[in-house]
Amino acid sequence: MGIINLTPDSFSGDGLMSGKDPEKEAINQALQFVREGADILDLGAESSRPGAEPISAKEEIRRLIPALEAILKEKLDVVISVDTYKNQVAEKALQAGADWINDIWGLRFDPRMASIVFKYNSPVVIMHNGRKLEQDREVPEKENQKDIVLRVKGGLQESIQITQKANIPPSNMILDPGIGFGKTVDENLELINRLDEIRAMGYPLLIGPSRKSFIGAVLNLPSDQRLEGTAAATAISITRGADIIRVHDVEAIARVTKICDAILR
């Protein structure tokens, strides 16, 4: 999964909204990612980095839809995923022709998101987010676990219950443990090493280690120098059962995944 950031403030410095022609840049990046081996393109129009300023659904749609429609016109042989947690944005994207929704709040932020996913029969990536929701008065008991894997499993189970109430079929669900979202460096490392325990929940597994701060902490490197760290985290993740790797550096990581698959699968 190649990341297309339609933002001006991405943590990794690759936000396309700071350029002169975001739509053209989005098309060029999409074409490049497909040439380099991407199977999925993940378009996001709001930065999820810590401390980022939230934007309205209207602004997110303004950034997202023109680029999404431009990429869809290229008729690329890839899945188009949209990274959003707002039901209005998800509906506009699915109406425009997006294939998947990738929700960093695991359907917990917006009460209407699950019904939109069900309405359009869309596959959905359900991510565990360790940050506290503003509307949460108290942290659910399952989220109080000191063991990071039990905590993530408990949080994901809460999201799975939301999908069940909304009648979203299990075949449309993909889990993401949420590397970097409300987790310490040590917790991120342990989570990757124990990914097989998340995979044992019985759903396809996506992981996004790309250029994350835990890599920077271990290697003492800025975000634009974390390729080798991302490659190492990717290889370990695949050995532990990851099915989808969400990355910025598609060409290099596609090569890593091919070798891992050749050995393991």
Q: pTM (2 decimals)?
A: 0.91
Q: What CATH code would you report for 2-264?
A: 3.20.20.20
Q: Is the pLDDT confidence value at 21 over 60?
A: yes
d(CA 120, CA 100): 10
**Mean pLDDT, to the nearest integer, of 144-150?**
85
263: exposed, middle or buried (Cβ count in 10 Å: 0-12, 13-18, 19+): exposed
pLDDT score at 9: 60
* C-alpha closest to that of 107 among 191, 49, 30, 174: 174
Residues in Cβ contact with 147 at an 8 Å cutoff, skipping those fewer than 6 apart = none
Classified as helix, coil or strand, 103 is strand
C-alpha angle 251-253-256 in degrees, rounded to nearest 5: 115
Query: Per residue in 22-80, pLDDT tens?
Result: 889 999 999 999 999 999 999 999 987 777 788 999 999 999 999 999 999 999 999 99
Under 8 Å between Cβ of 84 and 45: yes
> Hey, which residues are catalytic here?
212, 246
Query: Per residue in 187-229, pLDDT tens?
Result: 999 999 999 999 999 999 999 999 999 999 999 999 999 999 9
Q: What share of the chain is helix, strand, coil (3-state, %, to 5)?
A: 50, 10, 40
**Mean pLDDT, to the nearest integer, of 143-158?**
89
